Amino acid sequence: MIGTRPARRRIGRTAAATIVAVALAAGAACSSSGESAGGGDNASGGGGGGTPTDIFVPEGASISGPPDGTDPQPGGSLVMAIEAEPEGLDPTRYAFAGSGHFVASAVFDPLATIDDHGDAVPYLAEAIEGDESGKVWTITVRDGVTFHDGTPVDAQAIVDHLEAHRQSIITGAALQTVTEVSSPTPNTVQIDLSLPWFAFPAVLTSQLGYVAQPEDLAANTISAQPVGSGPFMFDKHTNNESWDFQRYDDYWRTAANGDQLPYLAEIQYRPIPDDAARLTALEDGDADMINTFRPEQVLALRDSDYKVVEYTTGEEEFLQLNTTKPPFDNVTARRALASATDAAGWIDELNSGVGSLANGPFAPGQLGYLADNGYPAFDMAKAKELVAQYEAETGEDFAFTYLTVDDPTNLRNHQYLANLYEEAGMDVTVQGMAQINLIAQSATGNYQVSAFRNFGFPDPDTDAVFWEPNSIRESGASLNFPRFDDPVVQEAIEEARASTNDEDRDAAYQKVSAAFGQEVPYIWLTRANWVLAAAPRVNGMYRAVDGSIQTLGAKTWIAELWVT
């Protein structure tokens, strides 16, 4: 049974820990590769101890704190405090948020993962190869891998997995270009697409890539009792208290030094929505590891003796606007809201200067970034003018309900924006709810304005599944949460997918940036600084710096954690 840890001293003003940052431009996703993640015949991480300077650190990331222990040790337990209770662990039925991905990473392996350079490379799959057209992809199945119940992860299991996603009301739209999934040989899966998609493996690094046991998936038991091929087996779950997992002894992966993975005997995730309480749990020894993007905790952890990974070019924090419902079915209303949004004030007054301004889902240096994309600047006089224009044109009051997560800090922060909107002449109601409910409301289009965090993949092809107009459904769920229907965006995404030239892909995604800037389906607040922090007894966490901390994707470094 996983218990608590000896209390550690509370964070204070200590000598600054070493921070290492090595610049690297993120590359495009590989269109064809047979290499395993981490190199060699087995996807792996490092083996043995190491200092922070041994770790490759991409641009926008930093690590600080003491070095890892000498050699990895098998056994032991680890408790991670996460920010929310996952709605369920069925990857075909729920839209995973960050906490869902942390928990899912214990039990599921993705078909592909992100390497140190931001590229998509095979992981659970032995190889993922595309033909010259970019429309036919072949997955080679890794031999000898089994689910936790002993059944094989064979070609048919992967076919069943992908077909379940294709039929899903949550994730099906992301695979709408897939016309057929088949198994031409016992160890291969063929995926036929209607359009070229040269970075297709990138979408298999996230929720679409998690392979669940097919019979359990069909029986709808995966959500509460997940069965996968990942490093840990499901033990038990107490709602809003914990998810408990035990080591899977027949796991297929070994480390670079030949050690059998995972190292840990047990891992537990504890939902603690309050950010300050999550940090307190780390300080008191009730948790070994936490994640946070809240400025107070980020600043405190920077100057501490904990092990810290920080990433600054990942997720954006924003408001998404339902473009199919008044008032935001009108671009005048959307531009009014943007003009009334003081994002710089949000960062300075509420975030203590932590984070950076965003004008779209593309960070500087990434494909698609456009410094001047037409997104409205903060201008209260202009906002008032546009509110009056909207009301004169429509004969309706400018009124809306604004959804956000119901923790006290979040409600306080979003009231700051609501006050600005009231000043501009809008009638605003702020409504708090649990994160899982907010995601469900957003996916089904049952909202007007919703606070959200998303995006941040090194390759925008993965994020593009959230923007495609072709994914919008009149009823049911859609990954295009704003339901923003612009043919320019759809054409640009298809253009980017059909090219292997980064200059052409950059130009295509800049069209998406310009469309978002002009038509304003999103109100951009900040590019969040994500931090993962752990007690010194936790080792192997520094590998999270490879990009998997900030993305809504698999945390493949979890198998390589060990404790001393």
Asked whether the domain spanning 316-526 has the same topology as the one spanning 32-312+529-563, the reply is: no
Q: What is the pLDDT of residue 462?
A: 83
Question: Within the chain, how many helices (H) and strands (E) appear?
Answer: 13, 22
Label residue 259 by pLDDT band (50, 70, 90): very high
Element (DSSP H or E) covering residue 181: strand 178-185
Is the pLDDT assigned to residue 47 strictly greater than 90? no
pLDDT at 36: 37
DSSP for 58-114 reads -TTEEEESPPP-SS-----EEEEEESS--S-S-TTTS---HHHHHHHHHH--BSEEE
400-453: pLDDT as tens digits: 999 999 988 888 889 999 999 999 999 999 999 988 899 889 989 999 999 998
pTM of the model: 0.81
Query: Could you tell me which CATH number the domain at 316-526 has?
Result: 3.10.105.10
Query: What are the boundaries of each domain within the chain?
Result: 32-312+529-563, 316-526
Return the pLDDT at 16: 27
Tell me the CB-side half-sphere exposure of residue 557, using CA atoms within 13 A. Answer: 20
Tell me: pLDDT of 29 over 70.
no
What are the distances in angstroms from CA 371 to CA 70, 171, 192, 225, 375? 45, 31, 37, 46, 10
Q: Which CATH class is domain 32-312+529-563?
A: alpha beta
CA angle, corner 540, sides to 539 and 546, nearest 5? 145
Please give the pLDDT value at position 173.
82
Lowest mean pLDDT among 36-45, 80-89, 198-207, 463-472: 36-45
303-329 pLDDT tens trace? 899 999 998 877 899 999 999 999 999
Mean pLDDT within 271-299 = 94
Predicted pLDDT of residue 550: 65
**Among 312-326, 330-344, 478-492, 545-559, which stretch is predicted with the lowest mean pLDDT?**
545-559
Angstrom distance (rounded) from CA 407 to CA 61: 28
- Give the tokens for residue 555: 């945390």
Q: How far apart are CA 554 and CA 37, in angstroms?
A: 13
